[in-house]
Structures are given as structure tokens and as C-alpha cells.
Structure 1
Amino acid sequence: MSEELLTKSKIADALGTNPMRVTRFVERNKINAVKKEGKRELYKLTQFNALKDELNAPESNKDKQSHGFSKDDYILTLKQQLKEQKQQYEQVIESKDETISSLKETIETSQQAYNDMKDQLAVKDSQITDLTKLTNNAQTLNLVDKDPKRIQAAHNDAETKPEQSSADEKADDSTKE
């Protein structure tokens, strides 16, 4: 079997190790393949006596144990990763809650500004109505000063409009006299 040509996987099986360790040994010791068949590199098992000795040394067994991971190690690692992910998730949730609170405050402020503007518009509409009444009264007074026929027309208009102001009534009284 020592003269037989083997792949790295077959050598690993023969030596009782994994193929990656054989690959590292080949790279570290710059061992060239005896033959290549396509992509497969073939080696003689005798080229790996040093690796065999390395594997049989008692120190390498300690190395195996210190570098190997047990199921418990994997479980502990996974638990730690889950804790970290949970913390990240909680931070994201907290950040989103803060954003939502900020947006709610912005909405409340905007709503208050909207209500203030509505109030201002109502005051403006009231002022426009008052100014319109005053303008009508001023025009009526202006007419009274100019033409008696217009006075009669204004008087008839004033009687038909219930919104006549006290100034209009005084103007009408003075024209009658």
C-alpha cells in the first residue's frame, strides 16, 4: 500500500485524520504530487511519514482536544450568539419606539398649529364680515349726502335688510327729519 498512489482524502483516511490537515501538511512541507489525474493530485503514503509521526505524538492528541469543539462548546457559542442577537433586537425595538414617540409629538404639534390657523381664519372671516358691513354703511351714508332719490332707495333697502346697523338707523332718522 505504501507504493500505491492516493488522494489527500484517502491518505487522511489511512492516517485517521481529516483531509484538511493533510492539505495543510502538504502546503507546509511543500510536498509535490507524484501524479495528476485531471484535478486530482495523487501522492505516495510514504511521503506522509512525518505527518504520521506527528499524529502519533502524545502532544498532538492534546492539541486535538484543545482545538476540537464539542457539542457543548457549540451550544454555548450558539447561546452567546442568541443573547447578542436578542440585545441587538431589543436595541432596534427601543430605537423604533423612540422614533414613534417623536413622530407622535410632531403630529401633536402640527395638529395644534393647524387648529391655531383655523382659529385665525375664523377671526379673519369675522373681520371681513364686519368690514363689509361697515363699507355698506359708509356707502349708504355717502348716498344720503348726495341725492334724495337715492336716500329713498337706500331707505327701502335698509327696511328689507334686517342686518342694518344703528348708524344706518340714525342716518335714516336724520334724513326723515
Structure 2
Amino acid sequence: MSLGLLNGEKSTLLKKEGKRELFKLTQFNALKKELKSPEAKQEAKSHAFSKDELILTLKQQLKEQKQQYEQVIVSKDETIASLKGTIEAFKQAYDDVQNQLAVKDNQITALTQLTNNAQTLNMVDKDPNRLKAPNSDAESDNESPSSTSNVDNRSKKKHWWPFSK
């Protein structure tokens, strides 16, 4: 079979007798000529590998793969170290925020206490009897004469409908 026939060219088979195939004489001569040419011999040699060459090629490929694997491992180790550093930075930032929140909570507590003290002082200034009497607001309103209730009654507008009855 010619190289041309090996590469996919169609052959014109004259006939088949048992296991033998009969081709045209021109095709047979062309095949003979191709096989004798130095290019065909060179191509046949280039496709043939010896076992030693194959072993050397495989060893070289293994070395290259090992180097690539080691590079990947080094790269992954660097990435892991970088991520650990990032995690530590985030932990530090989180701790700083927690400390700031604690300071804020203390400031709010102190401000609330100051506000309560200011309200207590304001109440003492207006009505000193409120601090002395531990009674509830309802009892203190009933017992003490309230000047504000008199003012409220006078300031109310009188309407005509209560007089219609």
C-alpha cells in the first residue's frame, strides 16, 4: 500500500481473490517507487522509536511535571501564608471595633447617669417636696395643693354648650 494510500487516498481495486487483492499495475509501480524514495525511508525512521529513546522522553516529561508540581506547591504555600496574614489583620480590626464599642457603651452609661442626675436636680429645683415624700405621683398630686391645676382651670376656654342644660 502506498503512502498516498495510507494517507487516505482511495485505491482502485480490480478484484479480490480469497485473501489477495489485485490492483492495477500502475498503482503497484507507484507504490514501489514511493517506498524506494529516500523521503519515505526518512519518514518511516522518524516514526520508529527505540525503547531507550522512549524511556528518556518519559523521564524528561516526569522531571518537567515534577517541577510544575513543585511550583504549584510553592504557589499554594505563598497563598496560604498571605491568607493567614489577611485573617490576622481582620482579627485585629475586629478587636479594635470591639474595643471601640466597649468605650461607646461606657460613654452611653455615663451620659445616662448624668442625664438622670440632671433631671433629679431639675425636679428638686422646681418642687423640693417631691424628693422628701417617697409617695407615688398620684398621691402627691392629691395631697399637695397644686397651683398648676388652678392655672389650667382658668386658662380653659368656656364654651356655650355646658350652659344649655
TM bin, normalised by shorter chain, reads 0.5 to 0.7
CA 1:91–1:43 in 2, change beyond 3 Å: closer, same or farther?
A: farther
Q: Unaligned stretches of 5+ in structure 2?
A: 135-165
Q: How many residues align?
A: 128
Aligned pairs for 1:1-177 (under 5 A) are 22-26=1-5, 32-35=11-14, 42-44=21-23, 47-52=27-32, 55=35, 64-65=44-45, 67-153=47-133
Q: Compute the displacement of 1:62 (Å).
A: 6.9
Change in 2 beyond 3 A, CA 1:57/1:135: closer
**Rg larger for:** 2
CA 1:120 to 1:23, structure 2 compared with 1: closer, same or farther past 3 Å?
A: farther
User: TM-score normalized by structure 2?
Assistant: 0.62
SS at match of 1:135: helix
Contact 2:13/2:22 (8 A) holds in 1:
yes
Aligned CA RMSD, in angstroms, stands at 3.2
Q: Any unmatched runs of 5+ in structure 1? A: 1-21, 155-177
Instruction: Give the conservation status (yes or no) of the 8 Å contact 1:143–1:150.
Output: yes
Percent identity of the aligned residues? 62
How far apart are the structure 1 equivalents of 2:2 and 2:133? 116
Task: Give 1:91 shift.
Answer: 1.8
Deviates more, 1:88-97 or 1:125-134: 88-97
* Alpha-carbon distance in structure 1 between the residues aligned to 2:70 and 2:37: 50
Could you report, residue by residue, the CA deviation over 1:77-123 in whole angstroms, capped at 9, with x for unpaired residues?
11111111112212221221122112111111110110000000100
Higher relative contact order (CA 8 A, sep 6+): 1
Q: Check the 8 A contact 1:54/1:60 in 2, yes or no.
A: yes
Please, what TM-score do these two structures have when normalized by structure 1?
Answer: 0.58
Between the aligned partners of 2:56 and 2:67, the Cα distance in structure 1 is: 17
Deviations 1:10-64 (A, max 9, x none): xxxxxxxxxxxx3524368x77322488xxxx54385434544665689976765
Change over 3 Å in CA distance of 1:50–1:121 after alignment to 2: same
